[in-house]
Amino acid sequence: MHSDNVKQGPARAAHRALLRAAGLQDGDFQKPFIGVANAYTNIIPGHVHLNELAAAVKEEIVKAGGVPLEFGMIGVCDGIAMGHEGMKYSLGSRELIADSVETMGKAHCFDAIVLLPNCDKIVPGMIMGACRLNIPTIVLSGGPMLTGEHGGQKLDLNSVFEAVGKFNQGLISAQEFHAIECAACPGPGSCSGMFTANSMNCLCEALGLALPGNGTVPAVSPRRVELARQAGKQIVSLVKKDLKIRDILKKEAFDNALALDMALGCSTNSALHLPAIAYEAGVEITLHLINEVSEKVAHLCNIAPAGPDHLEDLDRAGGVMAVLNELDKKNILHKDLLTVTGQTIAENYQDRPALDHKVIAPIDKPYHEQGGLAALFGNIARDGAVVKQSAVAPEMLRHSGPARVFDSEDAAYQAITGGKIKKGDVVVIRYEGPKGGPGMREMLLPTSTIAGMGLDKDVALITDGRFSGATRGASIGHISPEAMAGGEIALLKDGDIIEIDIPGKTLNARISAAEMEKRRQAWQKPEPKIKTGYMARYAKLVTSANLGAVVQ
């Protein structure tokens, strides 16, 4: 066992003495050491209950013959960090989390690890670190929040952001505004739509890293604690089988995850995180692969922000396994891949049919013929851009209009709320990419404000930054190369005609090559927005969004 490096033989007496001081006894030195990476914090609603799950995991590890060794993780709540400088640190925290898991696992010679994340960057960050360790790994998320309700209407976090736009327009009263704020997030869990956290937690099931139910069983359900118990028992079994994380994360597992991504209509952030996880697993994923999968996998679930359903509805309809079962009817999936259950992915879903075809559409009657995401390419996105096409109004799938160019999210938001954006405009937000932001801020505030003002069917937004999974409308992000790297988005001017063709997978500016080159010669790279500390170092090392914004 890896842990023998810190517990066996006369030379390790001092190591054992320290472990005894932490509570270990003679018999423990013959058992596997299981890391329990617990991202508990009382500032993130998706994480406030993780100590309860960690306790259940540790109890079952002991019963199964292992030694649980718990440690903490940092976490950024994207909703709280949204709309100010704090959001610059969100994506960058993914790399810190990956480094922390790697550091703790290597320094203490864990034989296996159970990851307890729940929200946005914490899920992929932990998995990336586990890939570097390459030991048996199970992901156990904290589960989704229940849906809020007010006035007979379902609510989620996005409802509050959109209420900001409605309130600013005078469409709702201050009393209604406050009532929505108080009702939207009723308790623990990751925000209840198919936003980034729930997207990644569902995708973990398709990757084979999580037990069935991981993505959909509500945070407050007793079934979530039972999942924790199963994870604690199963991780010791994986040690005995020596089934490592890279044995599971084959190229075909990412194909399965992308297929589920398209069927669910996942967050555009999955186009950042899946390539980043693949990078750490030694597998390559490109934006072109997203289009290849999207063209053959239909969109089966109309989950918020694209539609009225939420994660509790998906869970009631059979969860991720039922969606995979439906996809299997078109022979889309790789069936024989091993998963952390000890069975193949097909064995996991074979007896799990959809229980409600209003929530999980039949494969021959999908909500959309193509998957939820699309990658666009063109003269202002040579290396690609990403859009959640399932959440775009039909009339905005093709759109051309004059650019309204802003060098930051803050400047764009002021223009939007100031009534300076008109129907037909294409809002361009640049210098918000991985390097330029730095940190590639999510821009739920401007997109939800546009939607709340009733302009989501008239105004498009393109950026080298990114969007929350709660974003809907013609919001195109991840434009690569980014402005700070000299990408063509840096060369745009007010009034340039931007042509968006989502079905055609193109994004272009009506500018000649000669004019583009003239502007390039005149372009001057701006000063970094952050010059000291972690994000300054991050900006120097981070790669483009189309590569997953990994740090090399």
**Region 96-120 average pLDDT:** 98
**Region 513-527 average pLDDT:** 97
Q: Which of 408, 546, 395, 521 is nearest to 458 (CA)?
A: 395
pLDDT band at 448 (very low <50, low <70, confident <90, very high): confident
Give the β-pairing of 398-406 and 497-501. antiparallel
pLDDT for residue 306? 87
Q: What are the pLDDT digits (tens) for 168-217?
A: 889 999 999 999 999 999 999 999 999 999 999 999 999 999 999 999 99
pLDDT for residue 7? 97
CA 332 to CA 371: how far, in whole Å? Answer: 13
Please report which residue ranges of 169-250 form alpha helices under DSSP H.
174-183, 196-207, 222-241, 245-248
pLDDT band at 464 (very low <50, low <70, confident <90, very high): very high
CA 445 to CA 315: how far, in whole Å? Answer: 29
Helix, coil or strand: residue 501: strand
**C-alpha dihedral sign at 379, 380, 383, 388:** negative
Please report where in the chains the tokens 């992929």 appear, as a residue. 124
User: Per the annotation, does 442 bind a ligand?
Assistant: yes
CA 77 to CA 120: how far, in whole Å? Answer: 8
**Region 38-65 average pLDDT:** 98
CA 461 to CA 485: how far, in whole Å? Answer: 20
Cα end-to-end distance, the chain, whole Å: 30
Active site residues: 468
User: Per the annotation, does 120 bind a ligand?
Assistant: yes
Give the β-pairing of 148-150 and 153-155. antiparallel
Q: Which residues are bridge partners to 69 per DSSP? A: 35
Taking the CB of residue 109, how many other CB atoms lie within 10 A of it? 18
What the chain holds in terms of domains, given with CATH numbers, is 31-146+187-350 (3.40.50.2300), 148-184 (no CATH), 374-547 (3.50.30.80)
Taking the CB of residue 551, how many other CB atoms lie within 10 A of it? 17
CA 370 to CA 384: how far, in whole Å? Answer: 18
Read off φ and ψ for residue 411, nearest 5 degrees: -65, -40
Which distant-in-sequence residues (6+ apart) come within 8 Å of 384 by Cβ? 287, 288, 375, 376, 377, 478, 480, 546
The one-letter code for the residue type at 315 is D
Asked if pLDDT for residue 467 goes beyond 90, the answer is no
Asked if pLDDT for residue 480 goes beyond 80, the answer is yes
Please report where in the chains the tokens 């000669």 appear, as a residue. 514
